Amino acid sequence: MEEIKETNNANDTKPNFFCETCKYVCKHNSSYMKHLLSEKHKRKGEKKVYKCDKCEYKTNTSHWNLKLHITSKHSTIEEKSKHKYYCALCDSIFFSQLFLKNHQRSILHLNNKLTKGVDSNTLDENNLEPNIENVNEHVKRELKEELKAELKVELKNELRKELMIEFKRRITECFA
Cα dist from 97 to 53, 85, 86, 94, 174, whole Å: 28, 6, 9, 7, 44
| Rounded Cα gap, residues 104 and 108, in angstroms | 8
3-state secondary structure labels for all residues of 44-68: HHCCCCEECCCCCCEECCCHHHHHH
Q: What is the pLDDT of residues 146-176, one digit of tens each?
A: 767 677 777 777 877 888 888 888 888 878 6
| pLDDT at residue number 176 | 67
Question: Tell me: the pLDDT tens digits for 96-146?
Answer: 788 888 877 776 667 666 556 555 454 455 544 545 555 566 566 666 767
In this prediction, residue 45 carries a pLDDT of: 61
When pLDDT is cut at 50, 70 and 90, the band that residue 8 belongs to is: very low
β-bridge partners, 50: 59
Displacement of CA 57 from its chain's centroid (Å): 22
CA of 56: how far to CAs of 13, 20, 60, 71, 83, in Å? 50, 32, 13, 15, 23
**Distance between CA atoms of 47 and 30, rounded to whole angstroms?**
26
